[in-house]
Structure 1
Amino acid sequence: MKVIICGAGQVGWQIARHLSGERNDVTVVDNNADLVRRATDTLDVQGIAGHASYPDILERAGARDADMIIAATFSDEVNMVTCQVAHSIFSIPRKIARLRSQSYLTAIYSDLYRRDHLPIDVVISPEREVAEAALRRLNAPAAFDTELFLGGKVQLLGIQLDEDCPVLNTPLRQLTDLFSTLRAIVVGVRRNEKLFAPEPGDQLFADDQVYVVSHNEDVTRTFEIFGKTVHRQERVVIVGGGNVGLAVAKALEGRADRLRAKVIEKNRACAERAADSLERTIVLHGDGLNMELLAEAGVDRADAILAVTDDDKTNLLASVRAKQAGCPMAIALINDPTLLPLMEPLEIDAYINPRATTVSSILRHIRHGRVRGVYSIGDAEAEVIEAQILGTSPIAGKAIRDIDFPEGVLVGAVMKDGKVVKPTGSLRIDEGDVIVVFAMADDVPEVERLFQVSIDFF
């Protein structure tokens, strides 16, 4: 597949890294020559320095015979014009654009993206993706990372193991015997900052971070088995009233359980806009690092603080101050992945990585075959992939134990005829089944080959 990626920032670079690693023909375009050079020096990609929306630049990038263009520059307008040029002049079949401004995303204007108007096949909104990720974190307070699969019937849970975890030093195969009715599988373990797919004989130790794929009905039991108590949340303090904070507060207002939220926003105009948009949520104008303001927001009585400003350091420090004041859970928005090792020493419970959520969202729309969902773990170290099995797939009709999966791949869940079943070695994968697999980054191309449809399918 020939792909042009416009924008060589963090998101564009990660997408290029994924696609070039899967032996696609990738060209990166950015008007910053240094970013293009970084991409061509570190990845197996071609690079063009110039404005992505200029027809002559796209021509040089190979737009005449490209299969897809991904417009992920920092400018919404450049991304939109790039897709229009790609369609009108070069007839590129698939066009994906990242759009940040909420004005472009309002449902009543959705006709804008029709092929005869502004032809964009997929619109990705980082703010919406991040807001949804924040809500998932709040819904699973005992997890540091979480994602939904199989239409919300299955959850990926990232769980930090403490000294009092009851299943430490227990081989994973024994866990299966001890909890035979539990529909949950440990698919990944991070130990000493190294992520790996565990073997059945591997044990779990204190300070391990484990990734578990669990049936939605078994999430609470899964947390209990791994030594986590689940408390119903009633009060949340949100630091940051921008697009992300506002979207989260609106979603919380619409929930049936009436979770109460207070928003702190430093920018007066932004605070006023949030106050006008929200019905029952109190909006406080001021600095989220101010202890007096945090106390006024009732952070000592809150069940969680969600720090989602556009400044990583503010989010980290606001989380730390809230924890010091007695807030039991802190979730921070972190753009810079080099800050993630600070989470544990600062006792911040969970983080949201906007880059990872945006990358996952884009990857979901560009995978081969019938891949329906992709979630990128850590700094693109592994992926959890949801895929429908087609009759032409090499794994259709085989038992799981007979499928030649790479070592770094584990099946986490299988859905047959709309019902989620726990994967066992004897379980047969049939056409129409949907499976969720954990795959280390190096093994993703081989996993895609196993999901791949033959050319005559089309």
Structure 2
Amino acid sequence: MKVIICGAGQVGWQIARHLSGENNDVTVVDNNPELIRRATDTLDVQGLTGFASYPDILDKAGARDADMIIAATYSDEVNMVTCQVAHSIFAVPRKIARLRAQSYLDAIYSDLYRRDHMPIDVVISPEREVAEAAMQRLSAPAAFDTEKFLNDKAQLLGINIDADCPVVNTPLKQLTDLFSTLRAIVVGIRRDGRLFAPEPNDQIFPGDACYICVVDEDVPRTMEVFGKTTRTQERVVIIGGGNVGLAVAQRLEQKGRGIRAKVIEKSRSIAEKAADALERTIVLNGDGLDKALLAEAGIQRADAILCVTDDDKTNMLAAVRAKAAGCPMTIALINDPTLVPMMGPLGIDAHINPRQTTVSSILRHIRHGRVRGVYSIGDAEAEVIEAEVLSTSPLAGRILREIDFPEGVLIGAIEQNGKVIKPTGQTRIEAGDVVLIFALADDVPEVERLLQVSIDYF
């Protein structure tokens, strides 16, 4: 597949890293020569310096025979014009654009993206993706990572294993015997900084971070089995009233009157805008690091704090101050992945990486096969892929234990005839089933082969 990626920032670089690693023909375009140099030095891609929306630049990038263009520059307008030029002049079949401004995303203007207007096949909104990720973190407060799959019938949970976890030092295969009706499978373990797919005889140790695929109804019981208590999030403090904070507050209001949220925003104009848009949420104008203001917001009685300003360090420090004041659940928005290892020592419970959520959203739309969802884990170390099994797939009609999966691949759940089941070695996969697959990055190409489909899908 020939792909042009416009924008060589973190999102564009991560997408290029994924696609070039799978032997796709990737060209990266950016007007910053330093970013292009970084991409070509570290990845197997071609680089072109210039403005992505210029027809001559797209022509040099190979738009005449490109299969897809991904416009992920910092400018919404450049991304939109790039897709228009790619369509009108070069007839690129598939066009994806990242758009931030909420006005472009309003449902009443959705006709704008029709092929006879502004021909964009997929619009990705980082703010909406992050707001959804924040809601998922709040729904599973004892997990450091969450993502929903199979029409919300299954979840991926990231759980840190403590010394008092009831199942430490227990081989994974024994968990099936001990909890025979529990529909949950440990698909990934991070130990001493290394992520791997566990074998049946592997054990869980204190300090491990486990990724677990679990049927939605079994989430509370799974939390108990792994030593976590679940509590409802009735009082939430949000630091940052911009697009992300506002979107989360609005969703909390929609969930019902049982949830009480307060927003702290430093900018007076942004705070006033948030106050106008919210009905039952109190908005306070001031610094989220101010101890007195946090006390006024009731941080000592809050069930969770969500720090989503545009400054990583502010988010982390606000989370630390809230934890010191007695808030049991702290979530911070962190753009810089090098800051993530500091979360544990600082006592921050969970984080949201906007680039990771955006990358996952884009990958969902560019994978081969009937891929319905993709979630990127860690620093692009692994993916959880939700895909329909086609009749042409090598998986169709075969029993799981007879399939030669790579070491880094595990099946976490299967949806058959509308019902989600926990897979065993005896489970037969049929055409039309939807599978949830954990795959380490190096094994993703083999997973795509198992989900086999031609480029005609695009």
TM over 0.5: yes
Alignment of 1:136-285 (within 5 A): 136-256=136-256, 258-285=258-285
Taking a change above 3 Å as real, the CA distance of residues 112 and 353 of structure 1, as seen in their structure-2 partners, is same
Alignment of 1:1-400 (within 5 A): 1-256=1-256, 258-400=258-400
SS at match of 1:328: coil
In 2: Cα distance, 1:307 partner to 1:270 partner: 16
Please say if residues 252 and 258 of structure 1, whose CA atoms lie closer than 8 Å, have aligned partners that are also in contact.
Answer: no
Please say if residues 299 and 327 of structure 2, whose CA atoms lie closer than 8 Å, have aligned partners that are also in contact.
Answer: yes
Residue type of the partner of 1:333?
L
Taking a change above 3 Å as real, the CA distance of residues 300 and 25 of structure 1, as seen in their structure-2 partners, is same
In 2: Cα distance, 1:139 partner to 1:74 partner: 31
Deviation at 1:455, TM superposition (A): 6.9
In 2: Cα distance, 1:386 partner to 1:6 partner: 27
Percent sequence identity is: 78
Please say if residues 7 and 28 of structure 2, whose CA atoms lie closer than 8 Å, have aligned partners that are also in contact.
Answer: yes
TM-score (norm 2): 0.99
In 2: Cα distance, 1:441 partner to 1:456 partner: 24
Deviation at 1:404, TM superposition (A): 1.4
Deviation at 1:257, TM superposition (A): 5.5
In 2: Cα distance, 1:125 partner to 1:457 partner: 24
In 1: Cα distance, 2:413 partner to 2:293 partner: 45
Show CA shifts across 1:370-420 (max 9, x none): 011000000100000000000000110001111111000000000001000
Taking a change above 3 Å as real, the CA distance of residues 248 and 22 of structure 1, as seen in their structure-2 partners, is same
Show CA shifts across 1:333-386 (max 9, x none): 000000000010001000001000000000000111101100000010000000
SS at match of 2:346: coil
Taking a change above 3 Å as real, the CA distance of residues 252 and 431 of structure 1, as seen in their structure-2 partners, is same
Residue type of the partner of 1:401?
R
Deviation at 1:256, TM superposition (A): 3.0
Show CA shifts across 1:14-55 (max 9, x none): 000000011110000000011001101111100000000000
Please say if residues 415 and 434 of structure 2, whose CA atoms lie closer than 8 Å, have aligned partners that are also in contact.
Answer: yes
Residue type of the partner of 2:193?
E
Deviation at 1:456, TM superposition (A): 8.4
Count of aligned pairs: 458
Please say if residues 393 and 454 of structure 1, whose CA atoms lie closer than 8 Å, have aligned partners that are also in contact.
Answer: no
Please say if residues 329 and 349 of structure 2, whose CA atoms lie closer than 8 Å, have aligned partners that are also in contact.
Answer: yes
Show CA shifts across 1:173-216 (max 9, x none): 00111001000000000011111100000010001000000000
Show CA shifts across 1:38-80 (max 9, x none): 1011111000000000000000000000000000000000000
Taking a change above 3 Å as real, the CA distance of residues 356 and 107 of structure 1, as seen in their structure-2 partners, is same
Deviation at 1:453, TM superposition (A): 1.9
The residue that corresponds to 1:415 in the other structure is 415
SS at match of 2:103: helix
Deviation at 1:161, TM superposition (A): 0.6
TM-score (norm 1): 0.99
SS at match of 2:300: coil
